[in-house]
Amino acid sequence: MTAIESTADGARARGLYGAVWRWHFYAGLFVVPFLLMLAVTGALYTFDDEIEAWWYRDLLRTPACAAPLPAAEQEAAVLAAHPGASVRRYTVAASAAQAAIWTVQPPQGGALNLFVEPCSAAVRGAVETRWQLMNVVSALHGELLLGTVGDWLVELAASWAIVLLVTGLYLWWPDQGARLLGSFIPRLNAKGRVFWRDLHAVPAMWNALAVAFLLLSGLPWAGFWGGQLARLGTVSHLTAPTPNFVAAPTLDNAVPADPHAAHRAEAAASDDTRIPWAIRHDPAPAGGAGRIGVAEVEAIARERGVLAPGLRLIYPSAPGSVWHLSYIPGGATTQRTLYLDPADGRVLDDIGYGRYSPLGKAVEWGVEIHLGRQFGLLNQLLCVLVCGLTVLTVVTGTVMWWKRRPAGGLGAPSLPKAYRTRAGVVVIAAALGLLFPLMGLSLVVMLLLDGLLRRWPPGKAPAATP
């Protein structure tokens, strides 16, 4: 290779490095506040049961109860305490020394969670469902308390966080002469830029795969991306065995109703975020005119072996809907879902993990690990560690940017004027855009804005040295 060719190759490499850093910078600028919020709320939600058991200890803790009263007697006490209310859900007490949770809808106001002593049916107190502590944390984590708009923003941020990881690993990637210190172990005795760079890049490198897993395992719950993933059920029989992964049909003359409406109504009515993702994409069966009550449902649950701590009995929410029993004692493989006809108590369906599709099983494993439930305390601690390292990475990256940005400027890394994007970079960007459509649309907008910034820069940008 001639000296001229070597120089040209070096210039192209520096140009690519600068381009990657520029997009790492832009991705970070957008993602940082969201990633910080996701990490903090995610760490809290990993210990949701433990936190609520302490936060609501005066309401939840009860005298040990070896023989709880029948559900029908508890229901009667609940309705007597809240005349005119309708029952939405009954959650069996999580332990012998904890209250059962009854969710009711009063004539006015929002739904309430009532804490009921299983042995006496005494109502210890109530909390408005949407403002219960972990429901607030969950809503912040999933939709910023902004509904659909917030859900899309979180999905967009999670997609761009993947870009942040890919570009960050490229910038970190050590050359042939790299040393252990600085590449794999942070130089904590260093000063200035080197200290902050190592404290940012090295933990981020060790944490990258775990963060990518949490992002990807959380995306099935995103409104847009999760819906598109479920539509894989229409592609082949491999991804669409009964009962899950059946996408909502087109509402035309051939299909007069949405088979998922019952699940959406149940989830909204009970504010239940623990219905398995695979089940949410299973068209719920239709039921007859309701006659059976919670006593009959409790008997069927006992007969089917699911009357156990944590079982949720979700009441029919509308004419034609059914009793929905959701049992998730811990982990993906133990999930059970039963549908009962309210007319006669007939079991319309009994769905366990074995009936999920291969993709459904993978998603449920991912979700349960994401939530810290699959492997017990170790799973929870690892999730908190990943979230903590993410916070460290976000904070150190922000400090680096703040220290190096020019006064009054944004500090975006510059590119050589003659730089042309490589074909491989275009292919990778296009693939990410197709895989994450919201990110792809925003990428087009960002490219247009970046082109304008490069034509009319507000000031001299710093050299490309992270």
Domain membership of residue 83 as a residue range: 59-137
Tokens of 284: 């719920």
Last residue within a domain, chosen from 375, 393, 414: 375
Is residue 202 domain-shared with residue 326, that is, in the same domain? no
Is residue 161 domain-shared with residue 22, that is, in the same domain? yes
Residue 1 lies in a domain: no
Is residue 208 domain-shared with residue 108, that is, in the same domain? no
CB atoms within 10 A of CB 432: 17
CA 378 from chain center: how many Å? 20
Phi, psi of 414 (to 5 degrees): -90, 165
Last residue within a domain, chosen from 375, 399, 418: 375
Closest CA to 159 of 409, 371, 436: 436
- Residue ranges of E strands in 318-436: 323-327, 336-340, 347-352
Residue 6 lies in a domain: no
pLDDT < 70 positions in the chain:
1-14, 176-178, 233-273, 415-422, 424, 450-451, 453-466
What secondary structure letter does DSSP report for 285? P
What secondary structure letter does DSSP report for 221? G
Secondary structure of 214-277 in HEC code, one letter for each residue: HHHHHHHHCHHHHHHHHHHHHCCCCCCCCCCCCCCCCCCCCCCCCCCHHHHHHHHHHCCCCCCH
Is residue 101 domain-shared with residue 35, that is, in the same domain? no
Is residue 257 domain-shared with residue 363, that is, in the same domain? yes
Model pLDDT for residues 226-255, shown as the tens digit of each residue: 877 777 766 655 554 345 555 443 333 333
Single-letter code of the amino acid located at 338:
L
Angstrom distance (rounded) from CA 30 to CA 262:
37
Is residue 173 domain-shared with residue 210, that is, in the same domain? yes
Torsion of CA 108, 111, 113, 118, to 10 degrees: 70
Model pLDDT for residues 112-169, shown as the tens digit of each residue: 999 999 999 999 999 999 999 999 999 999 999 998 899 999 999 999 999 999 999 9
**Element of type H or E holding 114:** strand 112-116
Is residue 317 domain-shared with residue 382, that is, in the same domain? no
Is residue 297 domain-shared with residue 358, that is, in the same domain? yes
Q: What Rg value do the Cα atoms of the chain yield, rounded?
A: 26
The alpha carbon dihedral of 179, 180, 183, 188 has a sign of negative
Task: Output the pLDDT for position 11.
Answer: 43
Is residue 157 domain-shared with residue 108, that is, in the same domain? no
Complete DSSP assignment for 367-388: HHHHTT-TTHHHHHHHHHHHHH
Residue 428 lies in a domain: yes
Residue 403 lies in a domain: yes
Is residue 67 domain-shared with residue 182, that is, in the same domain? no
Give the number of domains in the chain.
Answer: 3
Q: Exposed, middle or buried by CB within 10 Å (0-12, 13-18, 19+), for 403?
A: exposed
Half-sphere exposure of 322 (CA within 13 A, CB side): 24
pTM of the model: 0.85
Residue 229 lies in a domain: no
Is residue 270 domain-shared with residue 286, that is, in the same domain? yes
Single-letter code of the amino acid located at 362:
A
Residue 231 lies in a domain: no
Tokens of 296: 């009959």
Task: Output the pLDDT for position 466.
Answer: 55
Q: Cis peptide before 457, with omega less than 30 degrees from 0?
A: no
Last residue within a domain, chosen from 101, 118, 137: 137
Is residue 316 domain-shared with residue 365, that is, in the same domain? yes
- 154, 200 Cβ separation under 8 angstroms: no
